[in-house]
Amino acid sequence: MVIKMLDLVKKIKNAAYLVFIVLILQACTSDVILLSKLSENDANEVMGALLSQGIPAKKNSEKKDGYNIVIQEKAMSRAVAILKSAGLPNRTKVSLGDVFKKEGVISTPLEERARYIYALSQELEHTISQIDNVVLARVHVVLPERVAPGQPVQPSSAAVFIKHLPELDSDTIEHRVLAMVSRSIPGLSSKKDQKISVSFVETMPSIGAIEWVSVGPFIVQKTSEKQLVKVLVSLVLVSLISVIFAILMLLSKTRLWIVTKITFLQRIAV
């Protein structure tokens, strides 16, 4: 009977230790680089978006290569979803001066045209992105071009894509975007707006900010703090009870062994 009780105590202790070790291993996850080679401004924006959603993040400087954003591996999928919803990191803006920076002695007309179209799109994207509640803006420009000799010149046109937060009033903003684009692209200023396409896409609402707290070596959500404390206290109590029970059983077994020895010695003496 005593041997069976001791075996049961050992099994309870081993189960408690196993659960405790599993919890520790889950808490000790490795760090991974989420983004790299970011400018300081982009890194700060990414950090702000992640921290506001309760994801611990660190910004590491890599000297000439910019900044890296490091997070816990278990938060990777959620971090990617949050940044995608926020339109971060921002695409590197290229100014007209950067695009038309000459790297060779002579540029072909095709190169000049491609650079001009790209620079024009970049400038419009940057301007539209400054509108409140706009997450992402893309502009595709088509300038007048004669396809073949004798053929009519293809008119200018533009397509605008705007990803925005639910707070944006797309009906009001659309007229402003149409006016701005039509006055920024050659060949559209005197034409009707049917040559400009504006598409609005509402981004998914961000998950509410989550408050994180530390419980010993663990970092958990505020709502899970009490449950984790209960689990840890239960494990400690189970371990203590099992140890005390084992000690009592050992003492009882020792006492029984001593009594048996004394009785045996008394019988021999008689």
Which residues contact residue 126 at a Cβ distance below 8 angstroms, ignoring those fewer than 6 apart?
Answer: 93
Q: How many residues does the chain have?
A: 270
Who has greater pLDDT, 18 or 175?
Answer: 175
Q: What pLDDT score does 162 carry?
A: 92
pLDDT tens digits for 43-78? 888 888 888 777 888 888 877 778 889 988 878 888
Q: For the chain, what is the mean pLDDT? A: 75
Q: What pLDDT score does 1 carry?
A: 47
Q: What pLDDT score does 89 carry?
A: 82
Q: What pLDDT score does 161 carry?
A: 93
Q: Is residue 2 predicted with pLDDT exceeding 50? A: no
pLDDT tens digits for 101-137? 656 556 677 777 777 888 888 889 888 988 888 888 8
Q: How confident is the model at residue 92 (pLDDT cuts 50, 70, 90)?
A: low
pTM (predicted TM-score):
0.51
- What is the CB neighbour count within 10 angstroms for residue 55? 20
Q: How confident is the model at residue 206 (pLDDT cuts 50, 70, 90)?
A: low
Q: Is residue 208 predicted with pLDDT exceeding 60? A: no
Which residues contact residue 196 at a Cβ distance below 8 angstroms, ignoring those fewer than 6 apart?
Answer: 157, 158, 159, 160, 178, 181, 182, 188
DSSP line for 13-37: HHHHHHHHHHHHHHHSPPEEEEEEE
Q: What pLDDT score does 123 carry?
A: 87
pLDDT tens digits for 177-202? 988 888 888 877 645 556 888 999 98
The amino acid occupying position 247 is: I
